[in-house]
Amino acid sequence: MTTTAPAAPAAPARGMPGAATGAVQLVNDIRTGRFEKTMSGLTAMGAAITAVEIWTSHDGASFGNKMMWLPVIVVPAAIPAGIAGVVSARAARTVLPLMSALIVANGLQGTYLHWRGIAQKPGGLRQNLRYNLEMGPPVFAPLLASLVGGMGLLAGLLRREGSDQ
């Protein structure tokens, strides 16, 4: 009587689409240091898109408060910092986190100012909250800008490909 050995489990196919494969690749990129460059580049792209959105929103409000100019200046500064972070490990550890921290701080400040703007509308936060939320400054937009800064801070913390960390 002939017995056959049990079949070895099949190896997963390379390039197999799916969330599990994407997660495995992401973890591998973080371990090898490739993700640091990706986050730096995403910070630059996110800052560019966010800067345009901030400009159009604040311009639509005629820059009624001088503080509206601050994110128009701070957020675009992350574009060259993010690009530099892709090219240079030193920039990714110094310039990019500095600019990103400024964006996070400005986003938190903007959140406060947007809530204050809603509170100052007729009826404030008690009588006309729903209307004031819909017609006032966007409450969560500054926090979305802070997320761009958070990506830059994360890039500064990640290990760089080829480094000995």
The tens digit of pLDDT for each residue in 85-109 reads 999 999 999 999 999 999 999 999 9
Is 118:139 a contact under the CB 8 Å cutoff? yes
| Domain carrying residue 138 | 22-157
Helices (H), 61-94: 69-74, 78-87, 89-93
Higher-confidence position of 76 and 26: 76
As for how many domains the chain has, the answer is 1
In a domain, 6, yes or no: no
In a domain, 45, yes or no: yes
Q: How far apart are CA 110 and CA 104, in angstroms?
A: 10
In a domain, 12, yes or no: no
In a domain, 17, yes or no: no
Look up the pTM and report it: 0.79
In a domain, 15, yes or no: no
In a domain, 97, yes or no: yes
User: pLDDT class for 133, splitting at 50, 70, 90?
Assistant: very high
In a domain, 89, yes or no: yes
